[in-house]
Amino acid sequence: MEISTLAMYHCLAFVWYFFVTYSITHVRTEERPSEVFLYGGQWKYLTVLNLFVAISFWTLYTYNRELVYPQSLDGVIPLWLNHAMHTVVLPFAVLEILATPHHYPAKKKGLILLGFVAFLYISWVLWIYSVTGEWVYPLFALFSPAGLAAFFAGSLAVIVSFYNFGEFLNCMIWGDSIVILDYRQKGK
């Protein structure tokens, strides 16, 4: 992909992310159905932190929406914003894979970094529960402590699978080549 087209695409994705994040912060707090919305703001939701949770969100939503997005949120978060956070991000992710090759770190290093980020997020979710007494995601209330640990371990396995699948797709689409962009050679 041309550098200018790629830059425009990345700018568009950034503006979209900024717009969604801005829109979430302007959801009226007086209409929020619980205290858990106030503590940590929108930064407690994985959706806001990385926006690539479309598959897990819609799978759980289809199974039982109350586990991830209670119906009480319909009056708080507009339908378009729900889709902006949980649907539109999937085409952006697919376009990113198709638009530019990515250099993955060594497998061990990549998985250690991924595990560390997952650990930080789980710690954040547990901290919010310890302060508010409410789970960020209602799904977690269904589990015993051992069940919750198993759920987190299973989630980590899914995350590792997505990481490996992304690396596989990158290799299938782009091969082993590493593209180095040299702006000085553009005119040649």
- What is the mean pLDDT, run by run of 10 residues, along the chain of 188 residues? 82 88 72 56 57 80 87 84 86 86 92 92 89 86 95 91 91 74 48
> Are the C-beta atoms of residues 45 and 136 closer than 8 Å to each other?
yes
| Measured distance CA(137)–CA(67) in Å, rounded | 7
Closest listed residue to residue 17, CA positions, set 90, 85, 87:
85
Tens of pLDDT along 135-147? 888 889 999 999 9
> Cβ of 134: how many Cβ atoms within 10 Å?
15
Domain total of the chain? 1
List all residues 6 or more positions away from 4 whose beta carbon is below 8 Å from its beta carbon. Answer: none
First to last CA, the chain: 17
| Measured distance CA(61)–CA(69) in Å, rounded | 7
| Measured distance CA(180)–CA(79) in Å, rounded | 41
> Residue 32 sits in which domain range?
3-185
Closest listed residue to residue 29, CA positions, set 18, 43, 21, 39:
39
Cα radius of gyration (the chain): 19
> Are the C-beta atoms of residues 27 and 76 closer than 8 Å to each other?
yes
Closest listed residue to residue 134, CA positions, set 8, 34, 31:
34
